[in-house]
Amino acid sequence: MNNQYLLKRLVTMGIVLFGVSLLTYVMIFVTPGDPARTILTQQMGGQTPSQEAVEQFRVSEGLDDPFTVQYVRWMSDVLQGDLGYSYYSDQPVTDAIAQRLPNTITLAVASGIVAIAISVPAGIASAVNPGSRIDYTAQFGALVGVSMPNFWLGYLLIIVCSLWLDVFPVAGVGGLEHLVLPAVTLGSGMAAIISRLVRTAMLDVLDAAYIRTARSKGLREQIVIYKHALQNALVPVVTIIGLQLSYVLNGAVVVEVVFQRPGLGTLLVDAIFARDYPIVQGVTLLIGVIFVLTNFAVDLTYNQLDPRIDLGGELM
Amino acid sequence: MIHQLEAPSLVHPLGTDQLGRDVLTRLLHGSRLSLGIAVIVTTVRLVIGTAVGLVAGYAGGWIDEALMRLVDTLLAFPGIVLALVIAGILGPSLVNVMLALAVVGWASYARLVRSSVLSLREREFVTAARLLGRSRTHVTVRHLIPNIAAPVVVLATLDIGGVILGISGLSFLGLGAQPPTPEWGTMLASGRTYIRQAWWLVNAPGVCIMITVLGFNILGDCLRDRLSPAQSNQIEKL
């Protein structure tokens, strides 16, 4: 790996991470409402605190300091793993996140598996027989999949599979049976996007000269497709699957609400409605950071998989 | 109250809801809302994004650098999550959802426009116009914008579907339109309470959203193939 390229990417990533933290902090900083009053009211069991108490609290907690001072203090706390405390339960934000994160990761992995299991075969089948009935069906299916709101698909699956057929539980977390419907809901939308890209990538590759060579050598079609073509087509596909994390995190919010799964998404939505800003801030920051790091990892993988990609090239 | 939760029939083709209202009527009425809002939000995204992209691509230097890092930061968040937080901070209302979706969504336009400007800048006709002493405004309006219009329009068409999904999704979560507004996502959210008795209450708005988004996606795909086959890869990547 080219060191100069790596360094350049690291610097850009650092700037973006700084931007993410700043944006997260500013969003909460400018919220209407007085955090001092909110916290004190909570601490006093719902009673309205006196004006002096609020003033005193503001000074002792540094809420009167200039923005930059407060941001730097918050940032240094964050870097030490302290995201503050929930306004309402006194629980550290990191604990609340740690409790919910495993459920979201499970959902993300399961839906990723569903997505790949559907999309890769569908994309290959399309690309191998372009213009065929299979191709059109797969392409139309993908279009429908992209256009389907996942909250509706979730309820549709609940109605059919849980209420009518009584195969899977309606909601909640637990065994594998609780995971199937949410994973299918989230995974099918992803599958739609991935299958289109698998198709495009395969079509590009199947056009290449080395495929013609492989065919004219008399290699069996299966070997040509699975060994020569698929391996090369996988390069862009890996990137796309990595970038699908955005889709997973977007979708997880809604899907977790539909299936009432306690995860990062439901934590965020509940905190937003409760105006529990430390939690909102913590979850938003975490999601932003995860996303930036994944994109970075995807970039590097991309370069590893395809050595032809110019490492010293312009970034954008 | 009469006609509550009636199953689909000839009188009420899509049934009635918990208050005895005709679902089809509400959906049709809601289409004005959903489509109108989606077009407004997409237009705002397009205008901000194009402006930022033009400035970044043309100005270069530290302005470009700063604007692009802002774009990177916005794209560093999954769109709906960021819009959810912004709309939540502003408070639940349809206007706030529109604002949130517009603010988080212009970045991909800026990226597309900037990279188009960068490649156009090196073309002969742009160089010629500059050598003739044309002002930046003249070059931008007469030479750059006409050449970036096609990919931007394609991106916008493909984007409208996403915006519709965003609006209905945030409304579904309770942040957008509030009942009794017949917004599709809001209708779906109120229908889920009656999911056992009245399956049509969540499915009718769901199908509506899907068909509308599907329509825009097909339109966008066709436009892309027609208008800018060369840039189709670039648009796909965004």
Distance CA A94, CA A91 (A): 8
Q: How far apart are the first and last CA of chain B?
A: 50
Q: What is the pLDDT of residues A86-129, one digit of tens each?
A: 887 778 999 999 999 999 999 998 998 999 899 888 988 888 88
Q: Looking at the structure, do residues A208 and A276 belong to the same domain, yes or no?
A: yes
A176/A244 same-domain check: yes
Which candidate, A189, A104, A100, places its Cα nearest to that of A141?
A189
Asked if the Cβ–Cβ distance from B217 to A12 is below 8 Å, we say: no
Residue with tokens 């793993």: A81
Q: Is position A18 within any domain?
A: no
From the CA of A282, how many Å to the nearest CA of chain B?
12
Alpha-helical runs (H) found in A148-176: 150-157
What residues pair up with A85 in beta bridges, in sequence order?
A92
Instruction: Please state, as a whole number, how many other Cβ atoms lie within 10 Å of the Cβ of residue A12.
Output: 17
User: Are A76 and A158 contained in the same domain?
Assistant: no
Q: Do A284 and B115 touch (CB under 8 A)?
A: no
Helical axes A150-157 vs B184-191, angle rounded to 10°: 20
The percent of chain A in helix, strand and coil, each rounded to the nearest 5, is 75, 0, 25
Chain A residues with CB-CB distance to B73 below 8 A: 16, 19-20, 22-23
Structure-block tokens of residue B215: 């329509």
- Tens-place pLDDT, residues A254-295: 999 999 999 999 999 999 988 888 899 999 999 999 888 888
Task: Please indicate whether, in this complex, the C-beta atoms of A272 and B199 are within 8 angstroms of each other.
Answer: no
- Integer Cα distance of A281 and A267 in angstroms: 11
Predicted local distance difference test score (pLDDT) of residue B228: 65
Residue A312 has pLDDT above 50, yes or no: no
The residue out of A82, A109, A125 marking a domain boundary is A82
CATH number at residue A186: 1.10.3720.10
Specify whether A60 is located in the same domain as A118: no
**Angle subtended by helix axes B94-105 and B23-59, to nearest 10:** 30
Do the chains contact at A272 and B175, CB–CB below 8 Å?
Answer: yes
Decide if A316 and B115 are in contact by the 8 Å CB cutoff.
yes
Per-residue pLDDT reduced to its tens digit, A41-68: 777 777 777 888 888 877 877 777 888 8
Residues A133 and A279 in one domain: yes
Does the residue B10 lie in any domain?
no
Considering Cα of A275, then B85, then B162, then A261, what sign does the dihedral take? negative
B203 within a domain of the structure (yes/no): yes
Per CB-CB distance under 8 Å, the chain B contacts of A240 are none
Judged by DSSP in three states, B220 sits in helix
Q: Do B206 and A144 touch (CB under 8 A)?
A: no
Which residues of chain A does B188 touch, with a Cβ-Cβ cutoff of 8 Å? Answer: 149, 151-152, 155
> Tens of pLDDT along chain B (238 residues)?
677 777 788 777 887 877 778 878 888 888 888 899 999 999 999 999 999 999 998 888 899 999 998 998 888 888 888 999 999 888 888 999 999 999 999 999 999 999 888 888 888 888 898 889 888 888 888 888 888 888 899 899 989 999 999 999 999 999 988 888 888 888 888 888 888 888 888 888 999 999 999 999 999 888 888 876 655 555 554 4
| Nearest one of A265, A270, A247, A245 to A255, comparing CA atoms | A265
**Chain A residues 49-78 within an 8 A CB cutoff of chain B:** none
Q: Which domain holds residue A75?
A: 25-82
> What is the distance of C-alpha A20 from the center of its chain?
15
Assess if residue A11 is contained within a domain: no
Q: Does residue B84 fall inside a structural domain?
A: yes
Q: Is residue B17 part of a domain?
A: no
Domains contained in chain A, number: 2
Do you find a cis peptide bond into B180, omega within 30 degrees of 0?
yes
**Both A104 and A77 in a single domain?**
no
Residues within 8 A of B (CB atoms), A 182-221 only: 197, 200
First to last CA, chain A: 19
- Residue from the list B72, B111, B114 with its beta carbon closest to the beta carbon of A16: B72
Cβ distance of B217 and A288 shorter than 8 Å:
no
What's the pLDDT tens digit per position in B72-129? Answer: 888 888 888 899 999 988 888 899 999 999 999 999 999 999 988 888 888 888 889 8
Same domain, A74 and A113: no
* Residue in A24, A269, A272 to test binding to B, most B beta-carbons within 10 Å: A272
Counted residue by residue, chain B has a size of 238
Minimal C-alpha gap between A20 and chain B (Å)? 6
Per the domain annotation, does B43 fall within a domain?
Answer: yes
DSSP state letter for A228: I
* Residue B16, strand partner residues: B22
Return the residue in B81, B164, B184, B212 with the most chain A beta carbons within 10 A, the one to mutate for interface testing.
B81
Q: Which domain holds residue B84?
A: 23-237
- CATH assignment of the domain containing B173: 1.10.3720.10
Q: Answer whether residue A105 is part of any domain.
A: yes
- Give the span between the Cα atoms of A284 and A268, in whole angstroms: 8
**Three-class SS of residue A85?**
strand
Same domain as A283, residue A141: yes
In a shared domain, residues A75 and A203: no
Residue of B115, B195, B217 lying closest to A155 (CB–CB): B195
The number of distinct structural domains making up chain B is 1
